[in-house]
Amino acid sequence: MFTGIIEELGAVSRLTEIPGGLRIAIAADTVTVGTQAGDSIAVNGVCLTALEPNAGGFSADVSPETLARTTLGDLSAGAKVNLERALLPTTRLSGHIVQGHVDGRGEFAGAVSEGGFYTVTIRFPVELSRYFVEKGSVAVEGISLTIASLRDGEFDIAVIPKTWEVTNLHALQPGDAVNLEVDVIAKYVDRMMQGR
């Protein structure tokens, strides 16, 4: 489990095809501190198992299911990735409950700068629309964000200068795919209502 508060902007150092999947090597400093092999690290919002963590980074294997559902298969060497270690029971929950289980791929439609602050527009697949509410939580690329406004097929998020600077949002181009994770509470409420 994660909070959606990005700890570090890492970089993909190598991608290697393995039988049925992909191994990603990521250069990182902060998230490897105290990390053991087998610990979870969110990469662009995708919960992965750290392999061979060391002072310079870690590797992770990506399954076919994860490649099909997320943007990890689109990465190339040098790509900037948002990183967060799994939370501890003593961690402040500064963002919201993020599982690292991506629900779908959205699209970065663009960003408008307003004196250092940004309004970012994200398009989303119609099947996720029932989980979004204005002022509700969403994870985009693993970043805990609040939906500022909501329209058919897209929402806006207000991004402060610090978030813009320390995440990969600033590197996105219009049309780029992004990982979306809806609020887990919304998913459970939806499921319970279907049973009524």
Three-state SS at 164: helix
- Using the predicted structure, report yes or no on whether residue 88 has a pLDDT greater than 90: no
Q: Which amino acid is at 84?
A: E
Per the DSSP assignment, residues forming a β-bridge with 16 are 23
What average pLDDT does the segment 9-19 reach? 96
The per-residue pLDDT for range 137-190, each reduced to its tens digit, is 999 999 999 999 999 999 999 999 999 999 999 999 999 999 999 999 888 888
Q: Are 37 and 116 in contact (CB under 8 A)?
A: no
Give me the domains of the chain, ranges plus CATH numbers.
Answer: 8-85 (2.40.30.20), 104-194 (2.40.30.20)
pTM above 0.95, yes or no: no
- Concatenated DSSP letters of 141-163: TTEEEEEEEEETTEEEEEE-HHH
Nearest residue to 13 (alpha-carbon basis) of 45, 44, 58: 58
The per-residue pLDDT for range 119-140, each reduced to its tens digit, is 999 999 999 999 999 999 999 9
What average pLDDT does the segment 37-42 reach? 97
- Using the predicted structure, report yes or no on whether residue 196 has a pLDDT greater than 80: no
For the chain, the residue count is 196
Confidence (pLDDT) at 195 = 73
Confidence (pLDDT) at 95 = 86
Confidence (pLDDT) at 92 = 81
